[in-house]
Structure 1
Amino acid sequence: MRTWLLSLIALGSISLGIAQAPERGAPLPRKGVFGAALAPVAAQGGQPGGLRITAISPGLTAERLGLKVGDIVTEIAGEPTPAAPALSGALRKKNAGDSITVRFIREGQASQGQAALVARPQQRPDGFRVHYDQVVSQGKRIRIIATHPEGSGPHPTIFLIGGIGAYSSDGDFATAPYGNILGPLAKSGYATVRIDKPGQGDSEGPTYTELTYTVERDAYLQALRLAKTLPFVDKNRIAIFGHSMGGSFGPQVAAQESVRGLIVHGTLARTWYEYTLENSRRQMELGGTPPAVVSEQMIPLARVMHYLFNEGKSPAEIKTAHPDLAAAVNGMIPDGRTYSGVGLPFFQELAKENLAAAWQNLGETQVLALYGENDFISGITDHQDIARWVNARRPGTATFTLVPQSDHGFNQTSSPRDSMEKWGRPGATFNSNIIDILKSWLEKTLK
Structure 2
Amino acid sequence: MKSLIFVIAFLTFNVSSGQSKTGNLERRADVKVKMKFNMPGILITSVPTTSEEYKNGLRDNDLIIKINSHNIKTNNQYLKLIRSLRSNRKYTFLFNRKGHIKTIELTFPPKQKEVVEELDIDYGTFTTNYGYKVRTVVSKPKSKETLKKLPAILFVQWLSCSSIESRGSNHGFSNLIWELSKSGYLVQRTEKFGVGDSEGPDCSELDFTTEVNIHREALEQLKLRDDVDSENIIILGGSMGSNIAAMLASENKDLKALMFAGGYYKSWHERLLDFERRRMEYGNKEPEEVYSKMKLYSEFYAMYFNEKLKPSEILKKKPHLLPVWPSKSDLQYGRSIEFYWQANDTNMGQVWSAVSQPILALYGEYDWVMDKEDSQRIIEQSNHLGSKFIILNKTDHNLYYYNDINSTKEAFNNRSKVPNKDISAQIVNWLDGLMLH
Task: Identify the TM-score tier after normalising by the shorter chain.
Answer: 0.7 to 0.9
Choose the corresponding residue for 1:358, options 346, 351, 359. 351
Give the conservation status (yes or no) of the 8 Å contact 1:40–1:52: no
Q: Distance in 1 between matches of 2:327 and 2:406?
A: 25
Question: Unaligned stretches of 5+ in structure 1?
Answer: 1-23, 44-48
String of CA shifts for 1:339-380, please: whole Å, max 9, x gaps.
2332211111111011122223334x2210111122111111
Where do residues 6-405 of structure 1 align in structure 2 (5 Å cutoff)?
Answer: 26-41=23-38, 50-56=42-48, 58=50, 61-63=52-54, 65-81=56-72, 86-87=77-78, 89-90=80-81, 95-106=86-97, 108-137=99-128, 138-149=130-141, 150=143, 151-152=145-146, 153-171=148-166, 173-174=168-169, 178-257=173-252, 258-321=254-317, 323=318, 326-332=319-325, 334-363=327-356, 365-391=357-383, 394=384, 396-405=385-394
Structure 1 residues 417 and 75, CA gap change in structure 2 (3 angstroms) = farther
Contact 2:171 2:419 in 1 (8 A): no
Structure-2 change in CA distance of 1:345 and 1:55 (3 Å)? same
RMSD, aligned CA: 2.8
For the 8 Å contact 1:308–1:314, the answer to whether it is kept is yes
Indicate the SS of the match to 1:370. Answer: strand
2: CA distance, partners of 1:419 / 1:332: 26
Higher relative contact order (CA closer than 8 Å, sequence separation 6+): 1
Alpha-carbon spacing, 1:355–1:157, altered in 2? closer, same or farther (3 Å): same
* Percent of paired sites with the same residue: 23
Checking the alignment, whether the CA contact within 8 Å between 1:39 and 1:54 is kept in structure 2 is no
Judge which range, 409-418 or 329-338, deviates more: 409-418
Q: How far is the alpha carbon of 1:262 from its aligned partner?
A: 0.8
Deviations 1:151-191 (A, max 9, x none): 32211122211211121122464377721211212222211
Tell me the matched-pair count: 411
d(CA) in 1 for partners of 2:426 and 2:325? Answer: 37
Query: Unpaired segments of 5 or more residues in structure 2?
Result: 1-20
TM-score in terms of structure 2 length = 0.84
Other-structure match for 2:420: 431
Counterpart of 1:405, as a letter, is K
From the superposition, tell whether residues 37 and 317 of structure 1 become closer, same or farther in structure 2 (CA, over 3 Å).
closer
- Residue 426 to residue 370, structure 1, CA distance change in 2 (3 Å): closer
TM-score by length of 1: 0.82
**Aligned pair in 2 of structure 1 residues 65, 78: CA closer, same or farther (>3 Å)?**
farther
- Alpha-carbon distance in 1 for matches of 2:95, 2:415: 29
Post-superposition offset of 1:109: 3.4
Q: Map Cα deviations across residues 106-144 of structure 1 (whole Å, 9 max, x no partner).
A: 454333222433222222242111111122332222110
Once residues 75 and 84 of structure 2 are traced to their aligned partners in structure 1, the CA distance between those partners, rounded to angstroms, is 15
Note closer, same or farther for the CA distance 1:171–1:275 as it changes in structure 2 (3 Å cut).
Answer: closer
**Distance (whole Å) between structure 1 residues aligned to residue 293 and residue 332 of structure 2:** 18
Find the residue that maps to 2:213 and give its secondary structure.
Answer: helix
Distance 2:267 2:104 in 1: 51
